[in-house]
Amino acid sequence: MSEAPVRFKTDRAVYFESHLKLAALAMGGAMLVLWLAGNPNVWIGAAAGLGAIALRGWYLRAQDLSAVWELRDGLLTGPGGRRVPLDQIETLRRIGSFVQVVTRSGDRYLIKYQADPAATIAALRRAQNTRPKDPTA
């Protein structure tokens, strides 16, 4: 009997908040580079940084916002056919609003733009602990 899946969806508000933070960093970084280079028009760095991150956010929005990871029957399934057996997960790590999943073989996956990354990690750990261990492993 199959258990009901647990879904980890991209949070729209977190997506835009992350891009605002990234834009602020890009603006400051570009302005710093121009200032260090002696360019008197450092404000151009702010416009360039904002424009670059806005374009990135717009271009990747549909792909990122439609990403859903699903946990069912001891398997974590993600976008693009990614499949991670729970017993192969070695490390779960929070990176901002992302959850990094590291397998025993060293493969790394990101569950991006989570409203509560700690809850995502807790759900994955809970599922790992409730799965019966494979006696042949």
On whether residue 94 sits in a domain, the answer given is yes
- Bridge partners of 102, per DSSP, are 91, 108
Same-domain status, 81 and 123: yes
**Count of other CB atoms within 10 angstroms of residue 134:** 9
On whether residue 35 sits in a domain, the answer given is yes
pLDDT band at residue 4 under the 50/70/90 scheme:
confident
Specify the pLDDT at position 3. Answer: 73
Q: What are the tokens at 50?
A: 């904002």
Same-domain status, 61 and 81: no
With contact defined as beta carbons under 8 Å apart, do 99 and 110 qualify? yes
Same-domain status, 58 and 81: no
Quote the pTM value: 0.84
Instruction: Give the total number of structural domains in the chain.
Output: 2
Specify the pLDDT at position 134. Answer: 56
40-82 pLDDT, tens digit each = 999 999 999 999 999 999 999 999 999 999 999 999 999 999 9
Domain that holds residue 31: 12-65
Edge-to-edge order in the sheet of strand 82-85: 6-9, 68-72, 75-78, 82-85
Same-domain status, 78 and 103: yes
Same-domain status, 16 and 46: yes
